Each structure stands twice: as structure tokens, then as C-alpha cells.
Structure 1
């Protein structure tokens, strides 16, 4: 098996949103912000290559939304998904499976693009099956008022209409060496991949733990719809991750791709930080 970091670009979000009730005097020591209190965040995907199967986890924002919308997201950086795939030696046509952690625009927007004359949409990964949890799909169809602005029909309905969308009802093995865990705190049916990479467990942490600074149990993002559930899920997950010597891969940490964990008297903490390419 081989795993690759696929950078899709960066965006900026308010530090208070990323760290919720944690005071700025504390989180600013762990994660930088500019004078307007904005933190620059990555939008990483991961490519998992295991035999003939090539699985892409999430795929950034894409480019279908309006210029005004993207301006509010403060997109920046030179990376884009297709170039990152090419740099790894692959193309969109090589992808056999796309796994969505959830359907917020910055995680699934890159799976659908405008057609040539912008009269409609077409799939970016035309040979791929696409996977999302059944809970998240139902949540997308009936979103609450707080979350509805994060969903766009054009990001997902063309996949459904093409017959390429598969709903995952239960956590467990999705493919050989690739299982998913389902959580409810951030959004109903958040699906977090856990990869067995040649004997090493690697967790695509997604929005469950967006940055290394969010590893401590109480350091939640205010984007979590149900913070009480997030706390309980995170506490259980981190205890298990330490026992299994799991490595976390961070989707949104601008400087840290991966870390190992260590149990301390004050809870589970970040141990060592390193790039994904160090995992063989």
C-alpha cells in the first residue's frame, strides 16, 4: 500500500470558530492567526493506493461556486487537487473510489465540475464509485438551519443522478485495509477513514480533529453541531488511538500533516509531528 498527501489549496477561518471556548491567549500559542484573527487552514485530501484500488478521501472546494462566495472563504495557496494528483503520478481517471467524510462544501466540492460550456455539470472522477454515510446523506437532504449553508446541490446531486453514489450504513471495513468510523458530534454521520498502511494505523482525522492544536479533548471547533457528543466521541477515540499507536493525518493544519500521540497525566497529547511521506 502507498498513501499520498493531496493538497487542494488553503482557506482561512476565524480562530474563535476553530477553537470555540478556548481563549485566544491559549490557542494562539498553538496555531497562528493574522491581525484579523483569521487562521490559515489547509484542505488536504489523501490518496490510498492498494493494488488496483485507488481511493481518494475528500477533494476540496472545487471551483463551481461564485467568486463572491469563494472570496468569503479567503482561498489561497498555489496547490490544486488535479496538479497534486499528477505530482503523485496519477490522474482523475485513475481514481476508483471517492470517500466523502461528509458533504460540507470544502470536503466534496471537487468531485463535480462545470461541463465545457457551463450549461451543466459532469463528474471529475468519472470511473469512480463515491461513498458517503447514509446518516450524512439524510442530513444533507434535511439540514438544520445552521448547517444548510455548507451544502450545495451541485456538489453531490450530479453524482447521485449518475448512479455513482453509495450510502454506507454501518462503520467497519469499507475496503481491504480501509475501514470507517462514524461520528455524530461535528455533523450527523461524519465518516472518518482508518487505513491499515502496511501494519501502521493511519487515521484521516478530517473535521473530527482538524488540526494538531485540536487534539486535547476540550479543544473543539465551534463548527461541531453537538459539542457534548464530540467530547464523548473524542475522549473514547483518543484513548483507543493511543493504545493502537495510531497516527493522525490532519486535513486542515497548515503546518502539520501527521502526528503520533502520547498519554500524559493531563490527557492525550501530540507526541511527534512529521509529514505523511515518512510513513512507509
Structure 2
């Protein structure tokens, strides 16, 4: 790749921007540029493949230059999580809070499917970082959902309970969906497709009996069904009018 030279005016050499289809343009080396490159590495090869050396190669800089913008690996991992979560938008002015949470759930699932290697970071990095020390971008979905729910008439404590139940369900759903791996896609028999023939039939009769349902797993439909149960239950427990069950997909 051709590198732009410093002209003595303080400009920064060009950095490859793979999100622009591999074209080269002049971009200031900053936290955003580094995190974008780090996200691409994780998306492609996983978190374990990420190192400051490899990241330096990706942005065509000496790795020591990166520490001016991101001082350590922990902040780098937090920043990757922030980069993804910043794309999750919540309409805090929505009149129908349940409908808005369905939109958020769908968007969260789309982000998870687009960045499956980042999902473990989204689930674990908060556990390693005190709430007040987390990147602001990772906290904005929390603040926005709380704002949406309080505006809908819930107390702040009720809103927090809903947030925890909602995102607990979402993380569980996407982790479950991402592990639905088919062993033999060429097989027509569901037991063989999923590798369930390896399980002793006397010990796992129900699991093997569900082979067809497991093989036809529909992540979007499962998400809708789970939200029907979750939102109706929250509404009932917190004393709000019951929500109509609206199935978006065939059972």
C-alpha cells in the first residue's frame, strides 16, 4: 500500500480504511480509527487474534504509537464493545414502550449476528469494569431504555428491573442462537444434521426427539416468542394493563 508522507505540517500518513472497500484516504490516527481496525480483526479472526502488534500492522503504524490513544488492552476491549453498542439506538420518545423494546431487541440481534465474535465482550467486559468507569457509549443504551420506561410511567426502580430482565433475555437469546451449529448440513435427517446420533438415546430421549424443531431453529421467530412472554409478564407483575400477544411469525 502506498503511504502518504508527512509534509512537515503535522498531517498524518494515510491509513487503509477497509470499510471503504480497501481504498486509501488520509485519516488522522485516533481512537476511533484504531477501534474500527480492532473490530475488523476481531470480526475476522476472533478476540484471541487481537494484539497491539497486529493492530499496528492493520493501521500501518508502530504499535507504540497506538498507546498514545489507547493505553492498554483492557481499554481496547472496552472500546470495541463501545463501538458496537453505540450503533444500538433507542427512541426515548416512543409512545409504545413495548413496541420500542421490540425494535431494540431486533437491532441488538442484528448487531450480534453481524459481530458474533464481539458478543462475548459485550457479555463479559461489564463484569470486569465498574459501572462508572465503563465507556460512555456502553452506558447510553441503559440510560436511553431507562428514559423510555420512566417516560412511559414506570418508576425508575421498575425501569431498572425491566432493563435487567430485557437485556438478560437478549444476551441469553443471542448466545443460544449463535451456538446453533449444524454439524452435517448435507444430511436430510435432523438427528444426523445436528450430530445428535452421538448421544445415547436412553439418556437423551427428549433432546433427540426434538431434533426436527432444533434443526429448523428460527432466531427471529424465537426472539418474538420470548419477547411476547417477557413483556407480557413484566406488564402483569408491575401492575400495568396486559399487553396483547402479537406473534410476528408462525409458531
TM-score range (shorter-chain normalised) is under 0.3
Query: Which protein has greater RCO, CA pairs closer than 8 Å, 6+ apart?
Result: 1
More helix by share: 2
Larger Rg: 2
TM-score, reference length from structure 1: 0.24
More strand by share: 1
TM-score, reference length from structure 2: 0.26
